[in-house]
Amino acid sequence: MAMSDANGSRRRAQPDWQRLWPLALGTLLLLLGAFCAWQTWLIADEGNAAARVQQARDEAVQQLAQAVAAQRATVEQAVASLDPATLQGDRAALVAALHAKLPQARRLDVYSGSLDEVLHANFREFGYAKAAQLMAAQTADGVPPVQSVSHGVGDRRLSLVLPLGPPQQAQAWLWVELPFAPVQQAFEAVSPAGGRLDLRQGDASTDMRILSHGSAGAGAEPVAKMVPGSAFSVAAAMPMAFIVLPRTWPLTALLALAGLGAGLYLLWWRLRRRELPIAERDIDIEEFKLSQQAARQSAPPAPVLAKLATAAAPAPAPVAKPAAKIALDPSIFRAYDIRGVVGKTLDAGVARLLGQSIGTLMREQALTEIVVGRDGRLSGPELAGALAEGLRAAGVDVIDLGAVPTPVVYFATWHYNTGCGVAVTGSHNPPDYNGFKIVIGGQTLSEGAIQDLYHRIAENALERGGEGSLRQVDVVLDYLERIVSDVQAEHRLKVVVDCGNGIPGAVAPQVLSGIGCEVVPLYCEVDGTFPNHHPDPSDPHNLEDLILAVKQTGADLGVAFDGDGDRLGVVTKTGEIIFPDRLLMLFARDVLARQPGATIIYDVKCTGHLKGQILEAGGSPLMWRTGHSLIKGKMRETGAELAGEMSGHFFFKERWYGFDDGIYAGARLLEILAGDLEERTPEEIFATLPKGVSTPELKIELAEGEHYRFMEMFRARANFGDATLITIDGVRADWPDGWGLVRASNTTPVLVLRFDADNPTALARIQQVFREQLLAVDPALKLPF
């Protein structure tokens, strides 16, 4: 199309885009300028917003302290009003008198001043958190702090302990649960000032959230503010501010002015152009020049590559100097780790000496750097900090990973090429336990090597005066990326993930989501008191909530992890528990499909069907002793590609590093199940794994060290007739139709038993034989079968 100008000449009409681009560009620049102006206001107000939220946090701490003090005062007044003679009288009468004075109490108990009945209680029935609170009160300086305990969804209570009589020589201890409502009301009465307030329980550097109040907000501050007189703390989260520009308000203001100015000019210019006669308009080349000029004026600065700052792991908490130093107890140096009760056989002083001993061993081997991580237990920061002090005193450089699962510590020894690492963890033990899993020169220490650490300390043969460095790193993202880059679920599975409030809750859901699964979290908030259930998936009682959650959510599967993440438990949507020895059959089939002839190791507690399944899949089966470090040592010796234990430890060398990792094992399991999902459901796949009639791990609790002495007598006296005996770890008696086992646990003072047979009749017969042999050694044993 052409048009004539006033002189009769012809030229082409402008295309639509040439007429409209100034309007579009001007509008875009106005919007960008307005966006930059909004960003400028957000950046300028960010400091005020932080101050408002922190002021709200301080107010919440004050209100909570008053509420806690009021609840404590109510109990103290009730105790003070008692007739002194009541304290000396019948305990039932004392409890009744206290109930009359404290009608609001939900539960109330009185225990002896020595707490003997607590020390010898079954913690699973008595309550781990309750036992830990009572024992902590016995050794506390000052008034024991108030804390909370959960009795299920929607039923949280305050719990406190008070001495009856002089605190230094308490005649008895009062433990009482009160309604949590006054504390909750005090917390929720404080306005979060546009941000979010988190009420936590535990160490101020950990995230054990009880309540949240306010908007979603950004991430909460890493260190919360403690509430005096309690185990509570309050953390503030800033209001969610959508700030994407550099946080420099002069720069954003300049960008706003440039965008608004350029946009307004272009719009004005275009409107003026519409009012001119055609003959007076500029030619196309002039429009092009103006567009280039406008583009130069409004062009944003050169792109700035966002550098992902590695989040520093929390620095180890200052190590408190104990009032009374705990003597070094040789019993904590066990077969494949070091473990004790905090405040009784383990404290910061012991951890510091252990660090020196490990550092001395490393220096002898010319090893200079080590990674240290800890689980979510309340004693973790203090013990990890003291351990790092000892390592540095021996001249070793420490990489602090912060709170991470034990497998992440093992991964970091490879990732940072240190070959050395220590996981400060109590694993699946009660909250008052803690300990150390140690890797030196790529080998997990066990037996004689652990005893060597003890002897170095006992003989004072330790390096001193070193100046090792300390740096904090976050290796979790590298761990996630390493797994997700190799393991993928071909089809989307819905999975309930129960972390039992252990440290896997900070990692496992992200891993399983990253491989392509829909994750339903259950008890994934890290809480070192384990308020919901004990984090030990080898005990079927601890899987009851998971089974219920899988059924209620319609999930395809449920997985559970222990307190430090190196054990895996599995349940189906029908509620069946798939025991680890059957899972190992499935893993063996998968690995042997790519590594035919490979050695597969399993421990003495595994089913007799496992050997046949490995042979059928083309592998070489090998039974070995129970214990993660012992299994890893045997894997190095034999070059095995896979190993597993009945406790839920799985060791993948094929496609992984050979250490026990419950989280990685969970990912590999979901990869296998999802890969066959079009053909078979998980239940149909598990149905292909043979099973007889078997028991879970059964346990007989004994006094510390007594379980070892019992096994010595049992091994010498027991008579199983024509059964084949395997004594590499305890006593296992095999018959053609089944077997039984009894062994001493190397983590807790218990005897571990398991029975497996082809049918119920054979199982009953084998159990009766073991019952007779066990009671012949000790008629007072309380047998769980």
Q: Where do the DSSP E strands lie in 537-664?
A: 557-561, 568-572, 599-603, 620-624, 642-644, 650-652
Amino acid at 319: V
**DSSP annotation string for 449-490:** HHHHHHHHHHTT----S----EEE---HHHHHHHHHTT---S
Helices 662-675, 406-415: axis angle to 10 degrees equals 90
Alpha-helical (H) ranges within 128-282 are: 128-139, 181-188, 249-274
Task: Please state the separation of Cα 301 from the chain's center in Å.
Answer: 42
3-class secondary-structure state, position 750: strand
Helices 16-80, 181-188: axis angle to 10 degrees equals 140
Instruction: Dig out the tokens for 48 from the structure.
Output: 């005020």
The dihedral through the CA atoms of 140, 141, 142, 148 has a sign that is: negative
| 694 assigned to active site | no
Q: Rounded to 5, what percent of the chain is helix, strand, coil?
A: 40, 20, 40
Q: Are 640 and 652 in contact (CB under 8 A)?
A: no
Q: Are 409 and 440 in contact (CB under 8 A)?
A: no
Distances (CA, A) of 459 to 324, 328, 447, 462, 481: 21, 12, 18, 8, 44
Distances (CA, A) of 437 to 351, 445, 627, 750: 12, 8, 12, 20
The DSSP bridge pattern shows strands 620-624 and 599-603 to be parallel
What distance in Å separates the CA atoms of residue 535 and residue 504, rounded to the nearest whole number? 10
Distances (CA, A) of 20 to 14, 25, 273, 382: 10, 9, 12, 68
Main-chain dihedrals φ then ψ at residue 259, nearest 5 degrees = -65, -45
Which among 140, 116, 119, 146 has a CA at the least distance from the CA of 131?
119
What distance in Å separates the CA atoms of residue 231 and residue 207, rounded to the nearest whole number? 13
Amino acid at 667: A
Instruction: Dig out the tokens for 578 from the structure.
Output: 């798939």
What distance in Å separates the CA atoms of residue 460 and residue 466, rounded to the nearest whole number? 16
Which among 637, 540, 333 has a CA at the least distance from the CA of 456?
333
Amino acid at 616: E
Burial of 506 (0-12, 13-18, 19+ CB in 10 A): buried
Burial of 167 (0-12, 13-18, 19+ CB in 10 A): middle
The DSSP bridge pattern shows strands 369-374 and 421-424 to be parallel
Which among 42, 73, 66 has a CA at the least distance from the CA of 190?
66
Instruction: Dig out the tokens for 661 from the structure.
Output: 């990792």
3-class secondary-structure state, position 626: coil
DSSP 78: H
What distance in Å separates the CA atoms of residue 168 and residue 157, rounded to the nearest whole number? 27
* Max CA distance (Å), the chain: 125
782: left (phi over 0), alpha (psi -120 to 50) or beta: beta
Element (H, E) at 220: none
Q: Are 461 and 452 in contact (CB under 8 A)?
A: no
What distance in Å separates the CA atoms of residue 326 and residue 349, rounded to the nearest whole number? 7
- Annotated catalytic residue, options 148, 212, 427, 446: 427
Active site residues: 427
